[in-house]
Structures are given as structure tokens and as C-alpha cells.
Structure 1
Amino acid sequence: MERQAMEAARSWLADQGVSRVRDGWVSDEAPDTLLTANDVAHSWAGEVFAEDLDPADRVRLAFGLLDLLDEYWVACELRMADGSAGGSLPAEVLWDGYRRRLEADRDVEAITYSLWVDWFEDRSTAATAFAEVLGNDIDRVVADRSDPLLRRARRVLECSGPVPWPVKEPAYRTALRLPALHSPLFHGLRASYHDIYGDLEPAAALALLDQLDLPTNTQHLAELRHVLAAGHKNHYRSPRAWDDAVRSGS
């Protein structure tokens, strides 16, 4: 399905006069100017949502463009279109697109970055986004343990720092039951402390941290335990606490 989406996006770009060449992209308007994938994303991704297509097909086309270009800006245009005056995008198609790519056996940095900065940092969308990409499925992830589901869970946990603690804690507690998720869960807890919009409850986070089966030499494990035990909620609220933990050799 993703290959079909990419081909549809490639065909759509061709209709806009944009085509792939050996070292990048060119447009009919300026055939002597070599464009990067990022140039193409910034110039044409937003145009997808002006197409005379069914709303669901616009979303599918945008995801195909994201697969083709592998540029975060396409995902950013998806988020902006969802919050536009024209109304929300079809939720089923939108979140199915995210889930499929989070499960893919390839790099999906544009998708995870989009989740982190566009959906999880926004308190008006964080709960819905987290539920759609992991929260609603975490029991199935733990029971099924298939590689695609585990890839999705790992990726979401690692970028979930900004998600409000009451939203993500149930999924964190369920993930605790599966040792394969302990390392990404640790990264999620660390991000919950270090991200500028990170959110956690120190006592509850410490209780989870103490149940993780991690190598004793895990980087920053001791420091995180130290600041949580001291009751700190976020690095930016107590900027000296982490340095104190490092100096103390915790």
C-alpha cells in the first residue's frame, strides 16, 4: 500500500511539473535549478490539500508524498491541515497512516519527529494522538509481541516525553510487563524529565524506573533516579538538580 501511495505521489508531482533526476528534483518552471527533497516539500506539500479530491484521498496522497520525499515538512503540512479552518482530517485515515509508518522496518524519523513536536507537545492534541498511535493498542502489543507492533511501541515510547503523565502512565505501566519495551520505556521516562515540555510525576515515575530491567551501566540511569527521588518534575524547572546528580556520582 505504501508503494502505491508513493507512486501516486510521484505521478501527482509530475502533474505539477516536478520530476526526479539523478541528484535531486527539477521543475518545469526552472529546469536548470536542482531542487532538494526539502525544497519540493516546502513548495508543493501544502498544495495537496487544495486538490479536488475526497478528504481521505488527500491524506493518503500526503502520506505518499511523505514516503517519497522523507521530509518532516510534509508531516507538518498534515498537522496544519488537520487544524485548519476547513476542519479536521479524516481521523481513521490520518492515524492509520501514522501507525503503518511507525511499524515499518525502515527509518521513520520524519514521523516520530512530527509526533513529538506537532502532536505530543500540543496539549490540545496530545491525548488523542498518543491514544491513536499506542495507548489504545498497548495491551495488544504486549500480548501479540509481533515485530511491527513492537517497532511502533518503541518509537512512540521514546518520543512520548511531552505527553501529559495521566495520559501516558497507563500505557507505561502496561509496557512494563514486556522486557523488550524496558529500554524505550526508560528513554520515555528520561525524555519526560528532560524535554522542555516533558511531563511526569516523580514518585510514580521512580516506581516505574525501579522496575525496569536495564543494564547497570545504562547511561543516565543513576542521575534520573536521583532527581526523581528528590521530587523534581522537569529539568527546566530545576536546572541545577541534574548537575548535582552528576557531581554526586549517583
Structure 2
Amino acid sequence: MEMQAMEEARRWLAERGVVEVGDGWVDIEAERPLTANEIAHSWAGEVFSDEGLGGAEQVRLAFGMLDLLDDYWVTSEIRFADQGSEGPLPADVLWDGYRRRLEADRDPEAITYSLWVDWFEDHDTSATAFAEVLGNDIDHIVAEASDSLLRRAGRVLACSGPVPWPVKQKVYGAVVRLPALHRPLFKGLLASYHDAYGDLEPAAALALLAQLELPANTPYLAELRSVVAAGHVNHHRNVHAWDEAVRASTD
């Protein structure tokens, strides 16, 4: 993670009486321990009210707090600030913050959850968010295929179910050329079918599934092939179709 941003966040919190002690946090004034979630709810939003910081500095500080606390609520406050009356946030700094953490060794669970339930499920933001974290770079990612870029691509693909199919179709078609991304692409296709907001075009999805190099016994591979071959677009529009596919695969 970004060590400088973390140190700035640690210093910013300490100035407000929230101090890291050992493996935990303490509110000095109240003389009581704090959880990371409590700090996120109390202070992440305040970052964007700090008039001593410019917009870009606020965003970097918020990401530093995310690195420090590893709590999803920090990403919520970042989105609130971007969508709020004082927004939008500086887009280059905002999305660079997402991309850097998606490329890091550390599992960015808060970041991927944020993309999935906040940015991707909202059709007002899904196209821009998907383009910023993956779509705009897809040709470079396929050409270079470095470990960090593959990490980013794989993590985005796995949570991309709610992204509208026309937005993600080109990316899905490009990454199928990289076997290292076949498993996360399959996760994305599976989520495209199962997610309540998932979006999938059956014929195109079936063609992609036919190109994936996955073990034949990959969980739900046969079932997904079956339902999309039958023209089904989403689990929630016909729950019986999936149940029937499951039964057929076990007979």
C-alpha cells in the first residue's frame, strides 16, 4: 500500500486524538479503545470537510485511511463525497487510488466490494467506473500482462457481474486471450448471471465459455453453460432454470 498516505492518515488522526496503540486504536480524550469501523464512521467523512486540504489531498488522505483501517466504510465516504454537493472529486486521483490498490499484493477486499455494490450496481456510475479501473487499459493489460496488471484485471473481472453487458463485452472478449484471467472471467460471467443486478447476453456468454481453459469439473461451469445455452439471462428471472441445470449435472 501507499506508505506515505498511511503515515499522513495516521498523523491526521493523531491530531484529533485517535492514536494507534499496539494492535489497536485509542481515543485519547475519552480514554477508550476504538475499532477500525468506529474510526471509519467517525472520521472518514471528516476528511472531506478539512478546509486545510485541497481536493486531491483529501482523496489521497482518505485512501491512506483506507489502507490504515482496511474498512469498507471509508470507500463509502469517498463515494459520498464524489456524488455529493461538493463533488465530484478529482477523477484522476480518485481512480488512480482504486487502480493502485487493485494492483497491490494485499487483498483489496474493501475496494472490490465497493466497486461491486456501489459503483458497478449503479447504472449512473458503472460505465465510468469500469472504464477507469479496467476498460481504458485493456489493450495495455493484454499486451504487457505483468503480475500487477493481471491482479487488477482479475479482481475487477470477478466483481463485474452488475456492469451492463455492452460496457464489459469488449473487455471480456479481450481477456479471453489470457489464460491467467480465465478463472476470474468465469467468476465474472457467473456473477453476471446470478447477481440481482447482473447483466449477460446468453449467446455471447456461451461463446466466451467455450474458449475458457478450465478444469471440466469447475464448480458451476456445466450449469452456467446449460442455462445460457437455453437463452436465460439472469437467475432471478427464472430461478427454476438454474435448479434444473443443477439437477441435470448431478444425474
Band of TM-score, shorter chain? over 0.9
Task: Indicate the residue corresponding to 1:221 in structure 2.
Answer: 221
SS in structure 1 of the partner of residue 26 of structure 2: strand
Task: Indicate the residue corresponding to 2:148 in structure 1.
Answer: 148
TM-score by length of 1: 0.98
Shift of 1:114: 0.5
Residue type at the aligned position of 1:62: A
Task: Indicate the residue corresponding to 1:199 in structure 2.
Answer: 199
SS in structure 1 of the partner of residue 236 of structure 2: coil
Per-residue deviation, residues 29-60 of structure 1 (Å, max 9, x unmatched): 311x2111111101111000000111000000
Task: Indicate the residue corresponding to 2:49 in structure 1.
Answer: 50
**1:108 and 2:108 equivalent?**
yes
Distance 1:98 1:249 in 2: 39
Shift of 1:138: 0.9
Shift of 1:25: 1.1
SS in structure 2 of the partner of residue 196 of structure 1: coil
Residue type at the aligned position of 1:182: H
Runs of at least 5 residues in structure 1 that lack an aligned partner in the other structure: none
TM-score by length of 2: 0.97
Per-residue deviation, residues 126-182 of structure 1 (Å, max 9, x unmatched): 000000000011111111011000000000000000000000000000001111111
Shift of 1:23: 4.2
Distance 1:178 1:203 in 2: 21
Per-residue deviation, residues 76-119 of structure 1 (Å, max 9, x unmatched): 10011100011200000000000000000111100000000110
Q: CA RMSD in A?
A: 1.0
Displaced runs of 4 or more, over 2 A: none
Distance 2:121 2:77 in 1: 16
Identical counterparts, % of pairs: 71
Distance 1:23 1:7 in 2: 16
Aligned length: 249
Task: Indicate the residue corresponding to 2:5 in structure 1.
Answer: 5
Task: Indicate the residue corresponding to 1:41 in structure 2.
Answer: 40
